[in-house]
Amino acid sequence: MNILSIETSCDETAVSIVRADGDFPHATYTILGNALFSQIDIHREYGGVFPAVAKREHAKTLVPMLEKALGEAALSEKEIVLDENTHTAITELLSREPGLAEALFRYCSTHGKPEVDAIGVTVGPGLEPALWVGINFARALSLVWDIPIVPVDHMEGHILIGLFDGTRLAPTTFPALALLISGGHTELVLMQDWKSYELLGETRDDAVGEAFDKSARLLGLPYPGGPEISRIAEGTREEGMIPSFTLPRPMLTSPDYDFSFSGLKTAVLHAVKDGKDQREIAREFEDAATEVLVAKVRRALDEHNAQTLILGGGVAANTNIRRAFADLFRDEYPERALFLPEKTLTTDNAVMIALSAHARINEAVPGTTELRADGNLRLAPKTA
Ligand code: KG4
Ligand code: ZN
């Protein structure tokens, strides 16, 4: 089957078309089309992501991304005629997304219904105004093509793509742990099986990516700050620099799996005010964040005898964090499996949404169904 997926939860507008041969989790996947527009340059001017700006950009970019992904996929098309009722329904559905209905109608005037069997769309977590654009667009497409929609949890997408080698999901030994670290999330999730999730711990304040971004800002670095801090910190390691001060490792030894990064960010603020060296601060910040992540995961690996660790989310692109986990598994858990997804896949994209949609294809609903954006959607209630 062919799945068209849509991701608009934050600052990436992404559409992909993925063919799945076989059933989840043993299917073979082929990425037929993959289009992604990062709004980073737009948000950089504002120093961060503002939901209203993200929403406007998604509305502007969705049809071009649809066109690109479907163009790559080059699926055969069946002629369709939009009746007046559908036209009216779509106009109403997209009434709050300026220009989107018109762009979609323009697209439909030159294209038929592609060989797509279902639409997967992120319904949360994320920025609600941004999520709504994707959801309403999915519903409109679903009405045009008369195919169902699968509501997708963005975080499940991050987990599944961590196991994806471009063709298949890795055979996975459970229990498995997933550490999801991004601009919006810091979650440690335990899986006893496919699609079975327990939230072991999460951040109590800032997400780790948010702490990277805010600290970078305090250091005078552009948005997004994660890659900037990483670049500077790597430079200091290559030079063999030993920081002359330390920053706190929040909750390093607390007897739970929760995280807290706002204190670390405040410590960066004080260090800046004290006139400490920018590069040393970046290095210490990254070391502190990495140490805390590794310590919590190590405890969870031991306590739950987890056989697999999956890293996901934009911060999983961080060189120092990747190296720290690679070292941990090499030195302490050589028998267990570590999945460090390719950097292009750890950040938000639509292929991950297609994988999750395929996993939940039995949860597909008609496009006429009310769907809600849920900014705080959770994979599972917290158990620990
Ligand atoms: O998953 P993602 O693309 O979007 C969501 O937040 O859902 O993650 C973006 C976050 C940003 O905070 C960015 O600074 C961070 O990932 N990030 C990094 C690196 N690359 C991206 N953080 C640290 N080191 C990196 N190399
Ligand atoms: Zn994400």
Q: Is the CB of 212 inside a 6 Å radius of any atom of ligand 1?
A: yes
Element (H, E) at 233: helix 225-238
Q: What is the DSSP string of 143-183?
A: HHHT--EEEEEHHHHHHHHHTB-SSSBPP-PSSEEEEEESS
pLDDT at 210: 95
- How does residue 223 score in pLDDT terms, banded at 50, 70 and 90? confident
Instruction: Dump strand ranges (E) for the chain.
Output: 2-7, 12-21, 28-38, 77-78, 113-114, 118-124, 149-153, 176-181, 186-193, 196-202, 308-312, 337-339
Pocket mutation for ligand 1, best pick of 347, 349, 353 (most atoms within 8 Å of C-beta): 347
Is 80 exceeded by the pLDDT of residue 315? yes
Distance 312 CA to ligand 2 centre (A): 8
Q: How far apart are CA 96 and CA 92, in angstroms?
A: 8
Whether the CB of 213 sits within 6 Å of ligand 1: yes
Q: What is the spatial distance between Cα 311 and Cα 54, in angstroms, rounded to a whole number?
A: 26
Provide the pLDDT confidence category of residue 42 given band limits of 50, 70 and 90.
confident
AA identity, residue 354? A
Mean pLDDT in residue range 366-373:
93
Q: If pLDDT is split at 50, 70 and 90, which confidence band does 346 have? A: confident
**Model confidence band, residue 46 (pLDDT cutoffs 50, 70, 90):** confident
Of 162, 153, 254, the closest CA to residue 197 belongs to 153
Cα distance between residue 352 and residue 354, in whole Å: 5
Average pLDDT score over residue span 114-142: 97
Nearest CA to ligand 1 atom 16: 314
pLDDT of residue 342: 84
Q: Residue written as tokens 């004290």?
A: 274
Q: Look at residue 113 in the predicted model and tell me its pLDDT.
A: 97
Q: 206: which DSSP letter?
A: S
* 175-200: pLDDT as tens digits: 999 999 999 899 999 999 999 999 99
186 in contact with ligand 1, CB cutoff 6 A: no
pLDDT at residue 384 is higher than 60: no
Percent share of the chain, pLDDT over 70? 100
Question: In whole numbers, what is the pLDDT of the chain averaged over residues?
Answer: 95
How much distance in Å is there from the Cα of 221 to the middle of ligand 1? 15
What backbone phi and psi angles, to 5 degrees, belong to 10? -140, -110
Ligand 1 atom with least separation from CA of 9: 7
Q: How much is the pLDDT for 66?
A: 98
